[in-house]
Structure 1
């Protein structure tokens, strides 16, 4: 999860340009409906991407709906901004779930529901495969919604972390919200709909196994062992702060992992023993 700010494109100028392209599937119907679509673009921005405040989907001709959705997948110079969003806006951390890497452009509100936003840059977010689990889960039944990387500045704050509990040899993992966000319906919905459905638990389990079995492959690389519990705690704190900086967000998986461990004093002793015993 990461706040990105606005993508560097003028969407109104872009859609006007696209409406004149006779090699697009949406031609010429896009031009005929340009005013309606421009109004929806402006409204989307006016409500700061809050999907619960969007107008109902436009009633468009099926040929235009299908054309807009098909154009999204076209490899054309006029649509090169889609690849730029996918590959360049957040190349090393997914702003939707906090994983490492993107590789896909996710329609924040699905193009199947809102085809008018198929080519709208502010509705296209760089994402990893979590967009395949998100699907149409962009708002709940009680006014809650997912968080928007272009509009929700709260994504700059530490919203979530990994909670470790149970048997230390094989702990139970859960995504927990930090105190200011525990009662935030949008943050809770975002975590349950996207983050917790992804691969974060599998990734974190592997990281935990490294600490147990091969700690030299993690942040614990001190020669000759001899770590104290206090040193372990300080290293965990340093690790999540470094990850915050490296990825430009405290809501990446590494920060979530090390922040969660930093909170668990009893785990510090267990980690100390694992690391010291593994030293030659």
Structure 2
């Protein structure tokens, strides 16, 4: 759930190039709807800026097929178009091509139509509708959309780089650490918060984030034990969490799951006691064969 700037591309430049690459019949159909497609791409941005779903259009069967073929048939022109989108995203930040824009957990390897091309063929190659994400999120998202409400966060439009609507609640009950992720906002952030919550639920990110966070907390406790074997003080712990929070924000943004984890831990009054209990429970880590040489390879 990281903000990305819209790739600096112009549909009025690349769409005619894609049209020219088609066979005569398809090319003729596409040229007949080209002006309408350009206008609809403008309205796409307007609708997403307003956090709403663009209206479905009525197309003839031939028009729908021709528009879908712009993406459905692999050509050198389409491959170059995708490469140009990736180059624009990479120029903004390397992380855009290193982490999935939907989950920020996995490597992106596939393209998603934010609005499915089956229902919105006019956006089949529109760069703002093509998002570079991981296979898992693409599979979970499928072709779902809602006529009234956005179901998923769009990194260009619905994710504000300066505002946190992803939150991490950390609680400790009877010595057990519980981590819960959720999205919420008040005032002007209420609608994007609702979109983000649907995003979490539909992509199964609540449990995925919590699992990753639990593992990261275990790693944190291990590091604290190395530096503070007798227990860490409150100010020292806050200092560690604050540094990690800043690093996560710089790398992945304020709505990254790990930046929210450090925030959640810092605001859990019982975490200091929990951490010190874990630290002192095994204050002297065993070398566990660290100094033993490995056998020679066969």
TM-score when normalising by structure 2: 0.76
Matches of 1:49 and 1:60, distance apart in 2: 29
Matches of 2:193 and 2:25, distance apart in 1: 38
Is 1:272 matched with 2:272?
A: no
Is 1:134 matched with 2:133?
A: no
Is 1:258 matched with 2:262?
A: yes
Residue aligning to 1:239: 244
Where does 1:93-112 land on structure 2 (aligned, <5 Å)? 93-112=99-118
Matches of 1:264 and 1:270, distance apart in 2: 10
Q: CA deviation at 1:48?
A: 4.6
SS in structure 2 opposite 1:184? helix
Matches of 1:107 and 1:140, distance apart in 2: 16
Q: Is the 8 A contact 1:25 1:68 kept in 2?
A: no
Q: Is the 8 A contact 1:160 1:251 kept in 2?
A: yes
Q: Is the 8 A contact 1:236 1:259 kept in 2?
A: yes
RMSD of aligned C-alpha atoms? 3.3
Q: Is the 8 A contact 1:139 1:145 kept in 2?
A: yes
SS in structure 1 opposite 2:112? strand
C-alpha spacing 1:204/1:193, structure 2 compared with 1 (3 Å) = closer
Farther-moved stretch of structure 1 (37-46 vs 23-32): 23-32
Matches of 1:207 and 1:102, distance apart in 2: 21
Where does 1:1-280 land on structure 2 (aligned, <5 Å)? 1-22=1-22, 26-50=26-50, 52=52, 54-61=54-61, 63-79=62-78, 80-83=80-83, 85=85, 89=89, 90-128=96-134, 129-139=136-146, 141=148, 143=149, 146-152=152-158, 154-165=160-171, 167=173, 170-177=176-183, 180=186, 184-194=190-200, 197-209=203-215, 211-212=217-218, 215-216=221-222, 220=224, 222-223=226-227, 225-226=229-230, 227-247=232-252, 249-280=253-284
What runs of 5+ residues in structure 1 fail to find an aligned partner? Answer: none
Matches of 2:145 and 2:121, distance apart in 1: 15
Q: Is the 8 A contact 1:52 1:139 kept in 2?
A: no
C-alpha spacing 1:42/1:15, structure 2 compared with 1 (3 Å) = same
Matches of 2:7 and 2:13, distance apart in 1: 14
What runs of 5+ residues in structure 2 fail to find an aligned partner? Answer: 90-95, 285-298
Q: CA deviation at 1:77?
A: 2.7
Matches of 1:268 and 1:132, distance apart in 2: 40
Rg larger in structure: 2
